[in-house]
Chain A
Amino acid sequence: MTSATAAIFEARGVCKRYGGVHALDDVSLSVRPGEVLAVVGENGAGKSTLMKVLAGVVQPSRGSVLVDGRPTVFAHIHQALSAGVALIHQELNLAPNLDLGANVFLGREPRRLGFISKKAIADQARQHMARVGLEVSPEVRLDSLSLGQQQLVEIAKALSVDARVLIMDEPTSSLSQQEADKLYKVVRQLRERGIAICYISHRLHEVTDLADRVVVLRDGRSVGELSGAQIDRDKIVRMMVGRDISQYYQRTPLAAGGVAITARSLRTSAFPSEELDFSVRSGEIVGLAGLVGAGRTELLTTLFGITPMLGGSLHVDGKPYAPQTAAEAIAAGVVLAPEDRRQCGLLLQKGVRWNLSLASLRKTLSRWGFVRPRAEGKLCTDTIEQLRIKTPDRESPVHTLSGGNQQKVVLGKWLATKPRVLLLDEPTRGIDVGSKSEIYALMHELAGRGVAVLFASSDMEEILGLSDRALVMHHGRITGEVHRDQLSEESVMQLAVAET
Chain B
Amino acid sequence: MRANRLNPFSSLEGSKFLGIFSLLMVICIYTAISSDRFLLAANLENIVHRTALFGILSIGVAFVIVTGGIDLSIGSVVCLTGVMLPFLLTQCNWSVAASLATVLGASAAIGLFHGVMITKMRLQPFVVTLCGLLFYRGAARGITKDRSQGFGLEFTDLRSLATGHIPLFGDVAGDFRLPATTLLLIIIAIIAMVILNRTVFGRYLFAIGGNREAARYSGINVDRFTTSAYVICSTLAGLGGILFVLDINAAQPSDFGNFYELYAIAAAVLGGCSLRGGEGNISGVVVGAAVMVVLTNTINLVHPEYQKIEFAIIGGVILAGVTADALVRRLVASRNRANSS
Contact = CB atoms under 8 A, between A and B. Distances in A.
Interface of A: 304, 306, 325-327, 329-331, 336, 338, 343-350, 354, 358-359, 361-362, 366, 369-371, 395, 400, 413
Nearest to B277: A349
Contact of B211 (A306, A327, A346): A346
Contacts of B204: 361
A343 B213 contact: yes
B214 A326 contact: no
B152 interface: no
Interface of B: 11, 198-201, 203-204, 206-207, 210-211, 213-221, 278-279, 336, 340
Query: In this complex, which of B201, B210, B219 has the most chain A Cβ atoms within 10 angstroms of its Cβ?
Result: B219
A51 to B, nearest CB: 30
A297 to B, nearest CB: 13
The binding surface of chain A is classed by DSSP as: mixed
19 contacts: A304-B217, A306-B216, A325-B216, A326-B219, A327-B219, A329-B219, A336-B217, A344-B217, A346-B211, A346-B214, A348-B211, A349-B210, A354-B203, A358-B203, A358-B220, A366-B199, A369-B200, A370-B198, A371-B203
B211 A371 contact: no
Contacts of A362: 200
A326 B216 contact: yes
Contacts of B207: 347, 350, 354, 358
Nearest to A367: B200
A343 B11 CA distance: 24
Contact of A344 (B200, B214, B278): B214
A344 B213 CA distance: 5
B339 to A, nearest CB: 11
B278 A347 contact: yes
A325 B199 contact: no
A327 B220 contact: yes
A440 B214 CA distance: 23
Contacts of B217: 304, 306, 326, 336, 338, 344-345
Nearest to B340: A400
Contacts of A370: 198-200
Given A347-B206, A354-B206, 12 more contacts: A306-B217, A327-B221, A343-B211, A343-B214, A347-B214, A347-B215, A349-B210, A350-B210, A358-B214, A369-B199, A371-B199, A400-B340
A403 to B, nearest CB: 15
A4 B210 CA distance: 61
Contacts of B201: 369
A359 B200 contact: no
B218 A359 contact: yes
A304 B216 CA distance: 11
A348 B277 CA distance: 13
A354 B216 CA distance: 15
Contacts of A369: 199-201
B210 A347 contact: yes
Given A330-B219, A358-B218, A347 B211 contact: yes
Contacts of A413: 218
Report the 5 A-B pairs with minimum CB-CB distance, sorted nearest first: A327-B219, A347-B210, A330-B219, A326-B219, A359-B218
Contacts of B199: 366, 369-371
B62 to A, nearest CB: 17
B215 to A, nearest CB: 8
Contacts of B213: 343-344
B200 A371 contact: yes
A361 B214 contact: no
A121 B7 CA distance: 57
A192 to B, nearest CB: 47
Nearest to A376: B203
Contacts of A327: 219-221
B281 to A, nearest CB: 14
Nearest to A301: B217
Nearest to A328: B219
Pick from B206, B213, B336 the residue with the most CB of A within 10 Å: B213
A34 to B, nearest CB: 47
Nearest to B213: A344
Contacts of A336: 217
A346 B216 CA distance: 11
A415 to B, nearest CB: 13
Nearest to A347: B210
A400 B215 CA distance: 20
Nearest to B195: A369
Nearest to A304: B217
A349 B277 CA distance: 11
A330 B219 CA distance: 7
A350 to B, nearest CB: 5
A347 B204 CA distance: 11
B202 to A, nearest CB: 8
A315 to B, nearest CB: 20
Contacts of B215: 347, 358
A346 B278 CA distance: 13
Nearest to A331: B219
A336 to B, nearest CB: 7
A326 B222 CA distance: 11
B278 A349 contact: yes
B4 to A, nearest CB: 17
Nearest to A350: B210
A329 B200 CA distance: 20
B252 to A, nearest CB: 42
B198 A325 contact: no
A361 B340 CA distance: 31
Contact of A371 (B198, B219, B220): B198
B160 to A, nearest CB: 34
Contacts of A346: 211, 214
A304 to B, nearest CB: 8
Contacts of B211: 343, 346-348
Nearest to A397: B12
Contacts of A330: 218-219
Contacts of B340: 400
**Of listed B217, B219, B279, B340, residue having the most chain A CB within 10 A:** B217
Nearest to A306: B217
A127 B278 CA distance: 51
B128 to A, nearest CB: 23
Nearest to B202: A371
Given A361-B203, A369-B201, A371-B203, A345 B216 contact: no
B39 to A, nearest CB: 40
B243 to A, nearest CB: 28
A336 B218 CA distance: 9
B203 A325 contact: no
Nearest to A413: B218
Contacts of B278: 347, 349-350
A227 to B, nearest CB: 47
A325 B222 CA distance: 10
Nearest to B194: A370
A391 to B, nearest CB: 12
Contacts of B210: 347-350
Contacts of B219: 325-327, 329-331, 359
A343 B216 CA distance: 11
Contacts of A331: 219
A329 B199 CA distance: 23
A106 B206 CA distance: 41
A359 B218 CA distance: 5
B221 A350 contact: no
A206 to B, nearest CB: 34
Nearest to A359: B218
B101 to A, nearest CB: 25
